[in-house]
């Protein structure tokens, strides 16, 4: 399953400032929080998706990497390995 664009998840424009991103996240988090939606798996999924998007977009370095490479900026990091080995 492909991930949705983080800006779309939060409902903000790509040029949104930190304040707009934080505000959008808080609204989504409040509306979809598991404590308010017990047993609603769709709300829980939206909550997790909003958290993931906010985690990236609130950090200037992560946001810059995401803007350049999209989700691939973080998928590669999870892949591990690569580079030069220290064999000998």
Domain count, the chain: 1
The answer to the question of residue 26 being in a domain is yes
- pLDDT computed for residue 83 by the predictor: 47
The answer to the question of residue 87 being in a domain is no
- Tell me the residue range of the domain where 37 lies: 6-10+17-73
* Nearest residue to 48 (alpha-carbon basis) of 34, 27, 66: 34
The answer to the question of residue 79 being in a domain is no
**CATH label of the domain that carries residue 31:** 1.10.287.110
State which residues of the chain have pLDDT below 50: 80-85
The answer to the question of residue 65 being in a domain is yes
Residue given tokens 């220290």 in the structure block? 86
pTM, full prediction: 0.81
- pLDDT computed for residue 44 by the predictor: 96
The answer to the question of residue 85 being in a domain is no
- pLDDT computed for residue 78 by the predictor: 52
> Measured at the alpha carbon of residue 21, what is the angle toward residues 47 and 70, in degrees to the nearest 5?
80
């Amino acid at each position: 399953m492909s991930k949705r664009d983080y800006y779309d998840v939060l409902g903000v424009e790509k040029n949104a400032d930190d304040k707009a991103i934080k505000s959008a996240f808080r609204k989504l988090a409040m509306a979809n929080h598991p404590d308010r939606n017990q047993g609603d798996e769709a709300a829980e999924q939206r909550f997790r998706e909003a958290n993931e998007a906010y985690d990236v977009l609130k950090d200037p370095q992560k946001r810059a990497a995401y803007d350049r490479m999209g989700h691939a900026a973080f998928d590669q990091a999870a892949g591990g390995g690569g580079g030069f080995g220290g064999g000998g």
